[in-house]
């Protein structure tokens, strides 16, 4: 019991170190769901104190109950019953608290699974995957550094920047991300908007900038 209590107390400790990702070697894309219990410092100390007291009482009963108990004495029996009732009440309170936490975590897990398997969930995951791709990351970096005063930047120059920084990514854009062109990937990210501008020589070039509903940061 003492070991279980120590593990539980460590889990609910405020700002506890996350050790779940240690020694994990990522070879493929995967989704990990982690549910945690957040407590304040005061709640944590109260819980720790209550559980420690229960462990002490439990150990006291196991190791010293029989030597100190006189089954021929009514007073001894009454004292034992009172002690057991008090310990039972404490135990029920802690069980109720933990059950409440378990029910909440099960509900959160179910809702997470329902969302991730829904059409909207799949859409949000795909959008997240696209927005975190190396190409989009470098596009944002380029736009932050090189946009004009009006917020627009030439798409051709951005493409050249990507070729210089990560030369293989554009060549494998269809293979890795499933898009036939850089512009198609950018449209799918929903981070940018485009316009065509006439050059001084009468030609045309494509410009892009961040969409009005997003805030790009390097």
pLDDT in tens, 192-218: 999 999 988 889 999 999 998 777 664
For each of the domains in the chain, give its residue range(s) and CATH number, in order of start: 2-14+27-117 (no CATH), 133-210 (3.30.420.610)
Q: Which residues contact 71 (CB under 8 A, 6 or more apart)?
A: 77
CA atoms of 148 and 144, how far apart (whole Å): 10
CA atoms of 110 and 104, how far apart (whole Å): 10
**Which secondary-structure segment (H or E) carries 120?**
helix 119-131
Say what the pLDDT of residue 24 is: 65
CA atoms of 187 and 122, how far apart (whole Å): 18
Structure tokens at 163: 């070729």
Q: List, for residues 17-67, the tens digit of each pLDDT value.
A: 665 555 566 666 677 777 777 778 888 888 888 888 888 888 888 887 777
Residue whose entry in the numeric block shows the structure tokens 């004495």: 73
Q: Is the pTM of this model over 0.85?
A: no
Q: List, for residues 82-110, the tens digit of each pLDDT value.
A: 988 988 888 898 889 889 988 998 999 89
CA atoms of 175 and 153, how far apart (whole Å): 27
């Amino acid at each position: 019991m003492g070991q279980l209590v120590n593990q539980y107390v460590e889990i609910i400790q405020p700002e506890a170190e996350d050790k779940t990702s240690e020694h994990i070697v990522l070879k493929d894309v995967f989704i990990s769901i982690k549910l945690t219990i957040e407590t304040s410092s005061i709640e944590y100390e109260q819980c720790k104190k209550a559980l420690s007291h229960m462990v002490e009482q439990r150990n006291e009963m196991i190791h010293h109950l029989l030597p100190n108990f006189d089954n021929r004495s009514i007073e001894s029996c009454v004292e034992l019953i009172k002690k057991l009732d008090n310990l039972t009440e404490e135990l029920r309170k802690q069980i109720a608290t933990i059950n409440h936490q378990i029910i909440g975590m099960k509900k959160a897990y179910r809702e997470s699974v329902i969302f991730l398997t829904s059409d909207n969930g799949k859409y949000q995951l795909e959008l997240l995957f696209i927005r975190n791709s190396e190409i989009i990351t470098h596009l944002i970096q380029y736009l932050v550094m090189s946009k004009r005063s009006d917020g627009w930047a030439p798409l051709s120059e951005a493409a050249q920047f990507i070729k210089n920084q990560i030369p293989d990514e554009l060549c494998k854009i269809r293979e890795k991300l499933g898009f036939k062109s850089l512009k198609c990937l950018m449209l799918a990210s929903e981070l940018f908007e485009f316009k065509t501008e006439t050059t001084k020589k009468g030609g045309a070039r494509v410009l892009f900038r961040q969409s009005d509903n997003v805030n790009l940061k390097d």
